[in-house]
């Protein structure tokens, strides 16, 4: 088998952890497998490098930023290759530009376009472990690019796709995907399998185990992902196509995100084009609007509009809208940071009615007021007051029969 | 003018120091000069990276070592490019493999073979500052190589030669080359000029301001070096060809090195080939023998042989010689770490007699016993007991009329 493994920052945090990773890689090699390993920077290093860059200049050249932050993975790749050699395992490190991992020119948030794997394949077939720097590649300008935070997941999946690997194991500090956050929902269960689409929703809804883009990529290329712990040998969670899951759960998990803020515009004139007048300027300012709900007013002349934006963008959002006040003719703008988005996710929803109804009912029974609702094919999300987060998660987990008994 | 500047680790130790360097570069740009800057890693970073590598494995692959330690300069180059841009100076960072700086394949102690400067020249002519990672290049195996500790000096000189720069300014934490170590000899004077050959002797005799190889390179290519401080604006010391120094000092400086140890073999059989039998095995063990003196014994049958080796290699030296004891038939091996090598250096010696005599006399007057003597065209070195270091340096500095009054 050809296996791609990816280790996050905590898994390569120091010499001892790196040596443990080397042991793990050696086991697969001893079992006769070909192994390519993608590594992140040692825990804390990337933050420190970003801090260095910020201390020089807040508004900096993304190309120089990439040069600086990409150095972290270079170090951990070299160290892991050394640790493998010390165990008698043939290994070498590869930087993004050496393979090369070709990306577009969007520095600091580049996308992988192609990975030249001929040499790598040869070396792997010859029994050499390839230790590859995650998070980075080389752009058309012949300069180092990085893929954005969490980009090593994407590197691993892209490499697995290019190498046509049999498996892509993502080693992290949690041992799999849970039905909900186990720190809050003590009865949360580890899932044996989850579909790409569910994982995608979970990731974008706040479950930070995998980078969203890496899941998209895995889905598009049919890469079998496994999320597992680098601290033990337990099976993790397989992320696979829907066809591989015979008995589909109606709801697979309950996710939540504290990253959004709510904005309400009171008594906006209800006339054609008003939504465009509001959301156009926000789009121009590169602000991502998520949930939107519009109430028609009693007199039919004005309307209340509520939507969510990332908390980090709330100040800018208020600024942009106040700047458009004359155009928009709203009575009042109300911003609220104390909200949480709670979502139930499951591919089984497609064939089962009443999933949303059960959610509303469970929340109502606990006296939790729903501020905004949004739905997609495989998820229902509600915005509620932040103080109800724990109560809502536990109630929903129970209501959908997910509790581990 | 085209100027190459090199900044050492303490000159780029933090954001504030990097911003000060950027200001200094800007001044040259504003004066209409083209500037290429070679940077070391931030102070302490390289040691930390070496420590990481050692904690993984003592005997490690030099190719992976290079990958790890080269990351330090990558960071400081990116940061300085950012700092320049923040001042409105057009700049970009260049890694060794991007230029490329081509080296041989001797990883961890590579030699620069060629620097492709066409693109760089174009960019410089267009007004862009080139910030180049010191200490590294790319080998014929298409992997990162490093030049050995202090290698950034060599990078700067090689770049200056390839670019045919008008000047190569080496910024460091001292403000020039002194007639002797000012920490010991308070009357030491900063030299305005020194010849390449003198600098070479000084560097190899323990003056750690410039890497020896960088001086050789500067001499071979006629690169005008200036050693100066990054903490002030004073003129430093120019390192130039002999023809540029009209009034040559007989002695330019007094250097010393505590890095050597003395080994004496008593009553070695005095027969043909004995020296080869002793120094052959040491050469095989890659131990550098420096000063050698042989006394003929009274009976003409046995001889005493004394020589010096680097202190770090003393244990191995003893081991090697004890292993050869049967062959060598010496009576006793005496090793002594408490010695210092003191040297007087000056191109004027060539045309002046009596320089060595003055040295022996000055030391004798202070009751300092000379253990070993060695001479070259422009220097006289003596080995003495370490406890006389300060006394010897001050006496010689005075005897040769170097004192600053």
**Beta-carbon contacts below 8 Å between A and B:** 113
For residue A55, which residues of chain B lie inside 8 Å, CB to CB?
14-15
Please tell me which of the candidates A60, A92, A142 has its beta carbon nearest to residue B82.
Answer: A60
* CA distance to partner chain A, nearest, from residue B78 (Å): 5
Say how many Å lie between the first and final Cα of chain B, rounded: 37
Say how many Å lie between the first and final Cα of chain A, rounded: 37
Q: Which domain holds residue A153?
A: 2-173
Overall number of domains in chain B: 1
Instruction: Assess A47–B contact: CB distance below 8 Å, yes or no.
Output: no
| Predicted confidence pLDDT, tens digits, chain A (405 residues) | 999 999 999 999 999 999 999 999 999 999 999 999 999 999 999 999 999 999 998 888 999 999 999 999 999 999 999 999 999 999 999 999 999 999 999 999 999 999 999 999 999 999 999 999 999 999 999 999 999 877 999 999 999 999 999 999 999 988 899 999 999 999 999 999 999 999 988 877 766 788 889 999 999 999 999 999 999 999 999 999 988 877 777 899 999 999 999 999 988 887 777 788 889 999 998 888 989 888 776 677 788 889 999 999 999 999 999 998 888 888 899 999 999 999 999 988 888 888 999 999 999 999 999 999 988 889 999 999 999 999 999 999 999 999 987
Poorest-confidence range of A250-254, B17-21, B23-27, B128-132?
A250-254
* A262 and A384 co-located in one domain: yes
Best residue in B42, B67, B99, B131 for a mutation probing chain A (most A CBs within 10 Å)? B67
Instruction: Assess A86–B contact: CB distance below 8 Å, yes or no.
Output: yes
Q: Do B85 and A49 touch (CB under 8 A)?
A: no
Answer yes or no: is B166 within a domain.
yes
For residue A84, which residues of chain B lie inside 8 Å, CB to CB?
none
Examine the fold and report which residue of A173, A208, A228 is the final residue of a domain before the chain moves on. A173
Question: What does the pLDDT average to over B382-405?
Answer: 94
Give residue B171's pLDDT band: very low, low, confident or very high (50, 70, 90): very high
Q: Distance of alpha carbon B255 from its chain centroid, rounded? A: 13
- Pairwise pLDDT comparison (A231 vs B203), residue with the higher score: A231
Instruction: Assess B277–A contact: CB distance below 8 Å, yes or no.
Output: no
Answer yes or no: is A301 within a domain.
yes
pTM for the structure as a whole = 0.84
Give residue B206's pLDDT band: very low, low, confident or very high (50, 70, 90): low
Instruction: Assess B82–A contact: CB distance below 8 Å, yes or no.
Output: yes
- Pairwise pLDDT comparison (B297 vs B324), residue with the higher score: B324
Instruction: Assess A326–B contact: CB distance below 8 Å, yes or no.
Output: no
Answer yes or no: is B337 within a domain.
no
Please tell me which of the candidates B56, B70, B78 has its beta carbon nearest to residue A67.
Answer: B78
Predicted pLDDT of residue B174: 86
Instruction: Assess A121–B contact: CB distance below 8 Å, yes or no.
Output: no
List CB contacts of B258: < 8 A, sequence separation 6 or more.
B206, B311, B340, B386, B389
For residue A98, which residues of chain B lie inside 8 Å, CB to CB?
142-143
Query: Which H or E run includes B49?
Result: helix B45-56
Instruction: Assess B61–A contact: CB distance below 8 Å, yes or no.
Output: yes
Name the residue in chain A with its Cα closest to that of B96. Answer: A143
Answer yes or no: is B17 within a domain.
yes
* Helices and strands (H and E) in chain B: how many: 13, 20
Answer yes or no: is B331 within a domain.
no
- The overall average pLDDT reported for chain B is 92
* CA distance to partner chain A, nearest, from residue B82 (Å): 6
Instruction: Assess B70–A contact: CB distance below 8 Å, yes or no.
Output: yes
Distance CA B373, CA B382 (A): 5
For residue B98, which residues of chain A lie inside 8 Å, CB to CB?
142-143
For residue A53, which residues of chain B lie inside 8 Å, CB to CB?
78-79, 82
* A298 and A376 co-located in one domain: yes
| Alpha helix segments (H runs only) across A31-117 | 45-56, 62-69, 71-86
Distance CA B204, CA B181 (A): 15
Distance CA A136, CA A192 (A): 31
Q: Do A63 and B92 touch (CB under 8 A)?
A: yes
Examine the fold and report which residue of A122, A140, A173 is the final residue of a domain before the chain moves on. A173
Q: Do A60 and B71 touch (CB under 8 A)?
A: no
Instruction: Assess A98–B contact: CB distance below 8 Å, yes or no.
Output: yes
* A157 and A57 co-located in one domain: yes
- So what's the ipTM on this one? 0.82
Instruction: Assess A57–B contact: CB distance below 8 Å, yes or no.
Output: yes
The CATH number of the domain holding residue A81 is 3.40.1160.10
Instruction: Assess B142–A contact: CB distance below 8 Å, yes or no.
Output: yes
Task: Report whether pLDDT(B203) > 80.
Answer: no
Answer yes or no: is A326 within a domain.
yes
For tokens 């290019």, the residue is A162
β strands within B40-175, DSSP E:
91-94, 101-103, 112-115, 129-133, 136-138, 144-146, 167-172
Predicted pLDDT of residue A254: 94
Cis peptide before B100 (omega within 30 of 0): yes
Answer yes or no: is B369 within a domain.
no
* A52 and A151 co-located in one domain: yes
Instruction: Assess B67–A contact: CB distance below 8 Å, yes or no.
Output: yes
Question: What does the pLDDT average to over B325-339?
Answer: 90
Answer yes or no: is B147 within a domain.
yes
Q: Do B82 and A95 touch (CB under 8 A)?
A: no
* CA distance to partner chain B, nearest, from residue A77 (Å): 8
Instruction: Evaluate whether A38 touches A6 at the Cβ level (below 8 Å).
Output: yes
- Pairwise pLDDT comparison (A124 vs B182), residue with the higher score: A124
């Amino acid at each position: 088998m050809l296996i791609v493994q990816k280790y996050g920052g905590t898994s390569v945090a120091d010499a001892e952890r790196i040596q443990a990773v080397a042991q793990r890689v050696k086991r697969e090699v001893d079992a006769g497998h070909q192994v390519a390993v993608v590594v992140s920077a040692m825990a804390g290093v990337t933050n420190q490098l970003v801090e260095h860059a910020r201390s020089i200049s807040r508004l900096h050249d993304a190309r120089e930023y990439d040069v600086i932050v990409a150095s972290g993975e270079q170090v951990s790749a070299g160290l892991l290759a050394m640790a493998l050699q010390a165990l008698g395992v043939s290994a070498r490190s590869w930087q993004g530009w050496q393979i090369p991992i070709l990306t577009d020119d969007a520095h600091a948030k580049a996308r992988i376009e192609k990975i030249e794997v001929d040499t790598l394949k040869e070396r792997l077939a010859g029994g050499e472990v390839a230790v590859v720097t995650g998070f980075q590649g080389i752009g058309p300008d012949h300069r180092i690019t990085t893929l954005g935070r969490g980009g090593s997941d994407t590197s691993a999946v892209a490499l697995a796709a290019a190498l046509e690997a049999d498996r892509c194991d993502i080693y992290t500090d949690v041992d799999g995907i849970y039905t909900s956050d186990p720190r809050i929902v003590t009865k949360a269960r580890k899932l044996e399998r989850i579909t790409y689409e569910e994982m995608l929703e979970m990731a974008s809804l706040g479950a930070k185990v995998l980078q969203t883009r890496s899941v998209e990529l895995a889905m598009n290329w049919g890469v079998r992902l496994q999320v597992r712990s680098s601290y033990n040998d337990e099976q993790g969670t397989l992320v696979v196509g829907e066809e591989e899951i015979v008995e589909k759960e109606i709801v697979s998990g309950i996710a939540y995100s504290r990253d959004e803020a709510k904005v309400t515009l009171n008594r906006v004139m209800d006339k054609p084009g008003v939504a465009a007048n509001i959301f156009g300027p926000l789009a121009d300012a590169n602000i991502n609007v998520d949930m939107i709900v519009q109430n028609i007013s009693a007199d039919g002349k004005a309307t209340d509009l509520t939507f969510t934006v990332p908390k980090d963008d709330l100040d800018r959002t208020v600024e942009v809208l106040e700047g458009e006040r004359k155009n928009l003719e709203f009575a009042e703008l109300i911003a609220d940071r104390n909200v949480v988005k709670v979502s139930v996710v499951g591919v089984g929803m497609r064939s089962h009615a009443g999933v949303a109804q059960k959610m509303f009912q469970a929340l109502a029974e606990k006296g939790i007021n729903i501020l905004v609702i949004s739905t997609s094919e495989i998820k229902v999300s509600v915005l509620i007051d932040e103080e109800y987060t724990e109560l809502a998660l536990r109630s929903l987990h129970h209501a959908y029969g997910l509790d581990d008994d």
